[in-house]
Every structure is written in structure tokens, then in C-alpha cells.
Amino acid sequence: MTFKHDRGETKLVPLVPKSNKKKLKKYTMAEVAKKCTPDDLWIIIQGRVYDITNYVDKHPGGKLVLNSMGGKDCTDVFANYHQARVYQTMLPAYCIGEIGNPSEVYPHVKDFRQIEQDLLQQGLFETDQQYYRNMYLWLASIFIASLYCSLYLSSTASHMFGAVLMGFFWQQFAGIGHDIGHSSVSHNFYTDHFNGSLYGCLFMGISTGWWKRTHNLHHVVCNSIENDPDVQHMPVLAVSPKFIEKPFWSTYHKRLMQMDSITAFFVRNQHILFFPLMAVARFNLYIQSWIMIFNKDFKMYNRGVEAAGLTFFIVWVLSLALCMNSWFESVAWVLLSHAVAGILHIQIVISHWAMETYSGSAYNNADDEWYKMQLATTMNVDCYEWMDFLHIGLQFQIEHHLFPMLPRHNLRKARKMVKQVCEKHGIPYHEKSFYEAVKCTYDLLCVTAAKARAGDYLKVPNLIADGMNAQG
């Protein structure tokens, strides 16, 4: 028996769910490893083998997540993203066998799994709803203060302060959106998803469906050059020198990313462009949200709700901006509010961009199994406890990546446990101040830009640009 969380409650359940088959066929790890294509996809969970080929397109987290884990042992990945009832009600139908000679569980993995058990027994996977009621009041006060300054007061200075407050509101609301996206508020996938689709689109202008599609994949293949959309920003930015060494195929964007002449121009100057881009990065999220709405090839919950919410967001933001004293002031209000919200984008990127990136497939052995890869690709931000509200949970990215459904208000407690295990097994635990984290990220962007300026990359022609310049 083992402890699992289900709908926000800790329950004692069987470690391995009952199979629908009386006798299970034996497989080797090598046999399962071959079943790694979308047309023939198997995974391993707690020593059981599951053929999920027919389930890939139905997966709420997106098919790219499952494609990335095909042929691998998904025990820890699965445990940290699914509640107890999924083990009991869904897995048995896909079970086709078991591993004949299962590999030994690594000592550090045993300790990390024990952390999860300790967190569950202490009730730390259960959400304190009063914490979120307080957060809702906090958000409402910021929003109302912004409206008061922007609409009721008449001076330009007051209006600009209202823009600052609106940007701060968006930054703070993102924390709630992130928690809802991980089903760590109500712990009901459909309830949290609907609330995210409704309120996230109404007040943030960002699609929860789009966010979950990219973010779920980011967690599973964190900092993978070919697979993680959160580090794939070419042609505008190259996160590290590895991204410009040679062309690579993005499995998310479905296109080749390479250093052609246009990309080279941006990457060579990315150390200059970085902070200005963060100030306007939010506009890209609006665009991505609408692309998601109109692209019917993407499986999406609450599409109509999100379309209505995104439309209303545009209406109220533009209406508010147009209430300023002049067109110039209206534009300034929009740009300033988004620049302040740009702090959020800096908070997001410093957790991963300065960390290890890799090509190919992870989760193969003791050196790149689930827990070690999350620790190698993720950085915490060290801050005083009273500043936790400002960092909206993003300061504990290590603990969040290890235990994604753990409520935000309990991440600091998990941090102590994780640091102890890392120290015990000699696993690097990356934690820096906000300034140091920003500096590390910026320094790596500078290094990559310098390599691009030196021509230290595989040059690929851009047919459109070259044609316009009569080259080639």
C-alpha cells in the first residue's frame, strides 16, 4: 500500500492497481524501449507494462507528452501528475504485462519518493482554501485600485500609476493561473480547467488551453532542445550556444530551427534585445492564445468559453486605455502596464534558461532519470519568506517540478526535505538570489550572442532574405 492524493485528500491505496488480465506476460526493458512511436507506444509504471497507443490522442495533457515518454519507465512522471483514481480506473484497461527483471530503484529515487509519502502523510497536498480566499481579496484590491487611478483620477501621473498597478495585477494573477493549471486549487481537473479558461481569459487575456499544452510538455521534457517549447525562441532568442550549433527540429512547433541570416541578426544582438522583449512578451502570449482558439487540430477544453473571455479582455483593456486624456497617454498606459507585467516573464525564464540543456531523449539511466533531470534543468530563487507573495511560487521551481500538484503555500516546507536528500546523495541543488539568477541568464545570452557574432555556428541560407538581396 502507498499514499496517494485524490481530489485534495490523502488516501492509502494499492501500490500497483489490479489488472484485468489473470496472467501477465513478461517483457524486458529492451522490448518496451522499442515501443516508442505514436503508432506503437508502450510505457512502464511500477513494473507494469501499458500499451497506450489508442489513448495518445485522448490524453488531457496532450499527445506530445506521451510521445516523449514512449518506451520508458514513467513511474515517477506519472505519480507526480495523476491522482489515485487514475491508477485504479484508467490504467488497468491498458495493462498488457509486466517487466520480468525490473531494474533496481536507485537510492536517491527511493528518498525522493519517500519525500512524497511524507508530504502526503502530513496532509501537505491538501489545499488551504483560506489561503486562496485571501489571494482573491488581494487581487481584487489591486484591480480595483488600478481602475480607481486610471478612471476616477484625472492626472497623467495617476493614470500611469494605474497602469503600474494593472501590470502588477497581471503578474500576481499569473500565480493563481499557474496553480489552477496544475489542478492544485480544487484538485478537480475539470473544475480548475474551467475556472482557468473563464477567469484567466477574462482578466489575463491568455488561453488556459494553450498554456497547459505548452506547460505540460515543458515539465516532462524540461530544457530539451528539440522538445521543450519554453526554451525554443528562435529566430528571436537562442537560450544557449547549443541552440545555434546546428539546425534542430522542434517537435512542438513542427518546424526546423536554424541559424539563417534573419535569426543570426537577432541572436547576435539578443543581449541588447532581451529586456525590451520581456517588456512586450505578453503580446506574444495573446497571439498564441488566439492561434490555439482557431486551430481545430489542437484538442482543447472550453474553446467557446475561452474565445468569449479573450474577446471580452480585449474590449475592457482597450476601453480602459481609451479613457486616458490623449492618444499618447493611452498608448503609454498600455505599454507601461505590459512592461510591469514583463517582470513575470523574467521570473519565468531565470528558472531554466541558465540551466543545463540537452539534445536527444532523457530518462535512460541513473544519471538522467526523472528527479536528477528536474534538478539539473531547474533553479530556485532564494528570498525571504515575506517575499513569497511577490515571487508567486516561482521561487520554488525545483520543488514544483518534482511535485507539480503540491499547493504553492507548502512548497517552502518541501524545499527543506529536497535539500536534505540532495545533500545526502551529492546532487547539485541550484538556488540563487533574484539578481544572481537574472545575471546568470543574461550572461549566457551574452555568451551565445558573442558566438553568433563570431560566426561560431553552422550557417544556413535564408532563401527569402537572400533572394531579396540578390544573393546565391
**Separation of alpha carbons 467 and 269, rounded Å:** 23
Find how far residue 213's CA is from the centre of its chain.
Answer: 9
Count of other CB atoms within 10 angstroms of residue 44: 24
257: nearest Cα among 242, 270, 247: 247
Cβ-based neighbours of 453, under 8 Å, separated by 6 or more:
268
Residue 347 CB burial class (10 angstroms; 0-12, 13-18, ≥19): buried
H or E segment at 45?
strand 40-45
Q: How far apart are CA 20 and CA 111, in angstroms?
A: 31
> Cell numbers 541570416 label which residue?
261
- C-alpha dihedral, 215 to 217 to 218 to 223, nearest 10°: -160
The grid cell for 84 is 489515485
Q: Which cell numbers in the block locate residue 245?
A: 550549433
Q: What is the pLDDT of residue 458?
A: 64
- Residue 57, pLDDT score: 87
Sign of the C-alpha dihedral computed for residues 375, 379, 383 and 387 taken in this order: negative
Contact 217, 207 (CB under 8 A): no
Q: Quote the pTM value.
A: 0.92
pLDDT at 471: 44
State residue 51's pLDDT score: 95
Q: What is the CA radius of gyration of the chain?
A: 23
Q: How far is residue 454's CA from residue 259's CA, in Å, rounded to a whole number?
A: 13
Q: Residue ranges of the chain with pLDDT lower than 70?
A: 456, 458-472
The maximal CA–CA distance of the chain, rounded, in angstroms, is 77
| Cα(447)–Cα(445) distance, integer angstroms | 5
Residue 358 to residue 337: CA distance in whole angstroms? 36
**3-class DSSP state of 223:** coil
